[in-house]
Structure 1
Amino acid sequence: MQFGYSERCLAHDPGSRHPESPDRLRAIREGLKKKHGVEYVEADPCELDAMAAVHDREYLESVREFCDDGGGNWDPDTTAVGETWDAACQSAGLACWAAETALEGATGRDTPFSIGRPPGHHAIYDDAMGFCFVNNAAVAAQYALDHDAYDVDRVAILDWDVHHGNGTQDIFYDRDDVFFASIHEQGLYPGTGDVDETGEGDGDGTTMNVPMPAGTDDREYLAAVDGPITAAFTAFDPDLLLISAGFDAHRHDPISRIRLSTEAYALLSGRLRSLADDIDAALAFILEGGYGLDVLADSVALVHETFDGREPIEPDDEPGDTAESALEDVLEAHDLDVDLDEL
């Protein structure tokens, strides 16, 4: 894979006790050291105008001023330092690079994966929260839609971070040109992402939430992708598929109770690669969360290996019933005819 990366993203340092630390990127780089076919690309930082296409301009300017003044605690979870604004612009720029590279035809071993930070999926239209200042995936989606050269009419975003991507949902909730789907732990921060949150106005039906109960494992996540998510994305027929790729649903991540294995991320990546091929959509990945450094590094490395030719190993067991009712609720909310017993 091609990894979008910049040392500038390391300068955002909210402190040694904060889980969203620069060590996350260092761990990923270390985990990729001995892997074949890894390429790093540094993209230009995102311009204010591109970020203001999905964020309130006054909000963005207030973040820049906050950082220029030395930063501090924006809220109890979200901390900035003087360099945070530059890192956020760089992280958004890397996400735009990933979308652009995918739309220019990069596939297979050249599939782009932006590993910028701070992450973005909790940043709403006019506020920062949950470690996030600029919504990288939303900026990248709008960037693709706004550039006529790419001929993009519709973008789909799948957020597999263990936390609901409330910011991305907020930004596109009343839009019919972006389909946002989130698979996340039910009841976890920020407490949004119920099944009945399906969009409004022109966007009615273009938001899908799959809240999974604590203890959900690989097979049940795969059933969510194979079932409602694949059906919805196929019907939507996007030109670009963006993956908000958080790795904190891993069973060894310190802040969640979902039970995914490292292999699950290879399986999810393989499913989404096949889906993108089937619906003729460009595919790009954008880093979100993941706070156990070893499992973060191993999981990203396995996504890379999947695109480098390694065949993911299917689990032996059948899907359990932990999440069955949740998946049935999603299908009902979106009026989808999918037989879960056949997955």
Structure 2
Amino acid sequence: MRYGYSSDCLNHDTGPRHPESPDRLRAIRQGLSSRHGVEYVEADAIDEAQARAVHDDEYVEEVREFCADGGGQWDPDTVAVEATWEAALKSAGQAVWSAHEALDGTEGRETPFAIGRPPGHHAVADDAMGFCFLNNAAIAAQSALDGAAERVAIIDWDVHHGNGIQDIFYDRDDVFYCSIHERGLYPGSGEVGETGEGDGEGTTANVAFPAGGDDDAYLATIDDVFAPLLTEFDPDLLLVSAGFDAHEHDPISRMTVSTEGYGVLAARVRDLAERCDAGLGFVLEGGYGLETLSESINKVNEVFEGYEPVAPDGEVDDRLRSILDDARTAHGLGEK
């Protein structure tokens, strides 16, 4: 794979005990160091006009000035220093690079994966939250729509609901947002009945599992809920908001996705993009166990080098299957 990366993203210093630390990127690069063919690309930072395409003008100015004044605690979870603004512009720039590379037909071993930080999927139009300042995936999707794309789909497999992406596109029919997340975790949104409004009615799909959601449940979500919806939506671009904090050993969640499971998820979204004739790009979100984050991204990389991951042969238990059936029913698909 080709990775969008900038050392400027290491300068976003969240402090010694914050889970979203620069060590996340260092761990990813260390884990990929033995892989042949891995390439790093430093894309251009976005300009403020691109940020304002999805964020309010006043908010963009407020964040820039907050960082210029030395930063501090935006909220109890979301921390900035002076260098955070440039890191955020670079992180969003990597996401835009991933989207446009995918639209240009880059695939296979060169599939683009933006590994910037700070992450983005919690940032709403007018506020920072959940470690996020600029909504990287939303900025990338809008940039694609301002270019060659007519429709963009986003699959968010981070363990937390991407409330920011959902809110930004909730009333629009040109972006289909799909999220798998753990019920009850921050920020508390992402219920099955949240399906969009106005022109966007039906273009948001949420599957919220209780603690213990596993490989079988995640793969069934892709196959039984997201795939039929996105096949009908027919996107030109499929972006993956790729958080790895649903891993069974991640320190801040209670899901049980395995390292191999992330490889199978990557293969399923690759196959879905091919069926839709859509470009495929990845944008890093969460993942806070350094070893599990590194191993999981390495496994995704292997898939695009030709590795065939081993799919689980279990069944989705009845409790989790009922959640999938509810999601299908909310979108008129009926029970599986």
- The TM-score by the shorter chain falls in which range? over 0.9
> What is the TM-score normalised by the length of structure 2?
0.99
CA contact (8 A) 2:158 2:286 kept: yes
Paired amino acid for 1:92: A
Distance in 1 between residues matched to 2:220 and 2:32, nearest whole Å: 29
SS at match of 2:318: coil
Match of 1:234 in 2: 231
Match of 1:281 in 2: 278
Given the alignment, which residue of 200, 203, 207 partners 2:204? 207
Match of 2:175 in 1: 178
SS at match of 2:178: strand
Distance in 2 between residues matched to 1:303 and 1:244, nearest whole Å: 13
Give me the CA root mean square deviation: 0.7
1:197 aligns with 2:194: yes
Distance in 1 between residues matched to 2:10 and 2:158, nearest whole Å: 21
CA contact (8 A) 1:227 1:338 kept: no
Alignment of 1:13-28 (within 5 A): 13-28=13-28
Tell me the CA shift for residue 48 of structure 1. 0.4
Structure 1 consecutive aligned stretches of length 4 or more whose deviation exceeds 3 Å: none
Distance in 2 between residues matched to 1:46 and 1:58, nearest whole Å: 17
Distance in 2 between residues matched to 1:37 and 1:302, nearest whole Å: 14
- Please give the per-residue CA displacement for 1:241-293, whole angstroms capped at 9, x wherever unaligned: 00000000001000001111001110000001001001100000000000000
Distance in 1 between residues matched to 2:31 and 2:79, nearest whole Å: 27
1:328 aligns with 2:325: yes
CA contact (8 A) 2:156 2:243 kept: yes
- Please give the per-residue CA displacement for 1:99-129, whole angstroms capped at 9, x wherever unaligned: 0111111011110000000000000010000
SS at match of 1:179: strand
1:223 aligns with 2:223: no
Tell me the CA shift for residue 337 of structure 1. 4.0
| Consecutive unaligned residues in structure 1, runs of 5 or more | none
Distance in 2 between residues matched to 1:303 and 1:165, nearest whole Å: 21
Tell me the CA shift for residue 322 of structure 1. 3.5
Tell me the CA shift for residue 318 of structure 1. 2.2
Match of 2:80 in 1: 80
Distance in 1 between residues matched to 2:284 and 2:142, nearest whole Å: 17
Distance in 2 between residues matched to 1:331 and 1:103, nearest whole Å: 29
- Please give the per-residue CA displacement for 1:180-209, whole angstroms capped at 9, x wherever unaligned: 010000111000000000000000010100
CA contact (8 A) 1:122 1:167 kept: yes
The alignment covers a number of residue pairs equal to 336
Given the alignment, which residue of 158, 161, 176 partners 1:164? 161
Match of 2:245 in 1: 248
Given the alignment, which residue of 298, 316, 333 partners 1:319? 316
Distance in 2 between residues matched to 1:94 and 1:23, nearest whole Å: 18
Tell me the CA shift for residue 87 of structure 1. 0.2
Paired amino acid for 1:183: I
- Please give the per-residue CA displacement for 1:37-68, whole angstroms capped at 9, x wherever unaligned: 21100000001001100000110110000000
- Please give the per-residue CA displacement for 1:121-157, whole angstroms capped at 9, x wherever unaligned: 000010000000000000000000012xx2x110000
> What is the TM-score normalised by the length of structure 1?
0.97
Match of 1:71 in 2: 71
Distance in 2 between residues matched to 1:81 and 1:60, nearest whole Å: 16
Tell me the CA shift for residue 27 of structure 1. 0.2
Distance in 2 between residues matched to 1:224 and 1:307, nearest whole Å: 21
Distance in 2 between residues matched to 1:296 and 1:51, nearest whole Å: 28
SS at match of 2:228: helix
Distance in 2 between residues matched to 1:84 and 1:38, nearest whole Å: 27
CA contact (8 A) 2:25 2:115 kept: yes
Distance in 2 between residues matched to 1:183 and 1:223, nearest whole Å: 11
Match of 1:104 in 2: 104
SS at match of 2:251: coil
Distance in 1 between residues matched to 2:104 and 2:217, nearest whole Å: 34
Paired amino acid for 2:245: D
Distance in 2 between residues matched to 1:314 and 1:204, nearest whole Å: 33
CA contact (8 A) 2:260 2:309 kept: yes
Tell me the CA shift for residue 317 of structure 1. 2.0
CA contact (8 A) 2:329 2:335 kept: no
Identity between Structure 1 and Structure 2 (%): 64
| Consecutive unaligned residues in structure 2, runs of 5 or more | none
Tell me the CA shift for residue 338 of structure 1. 5.8
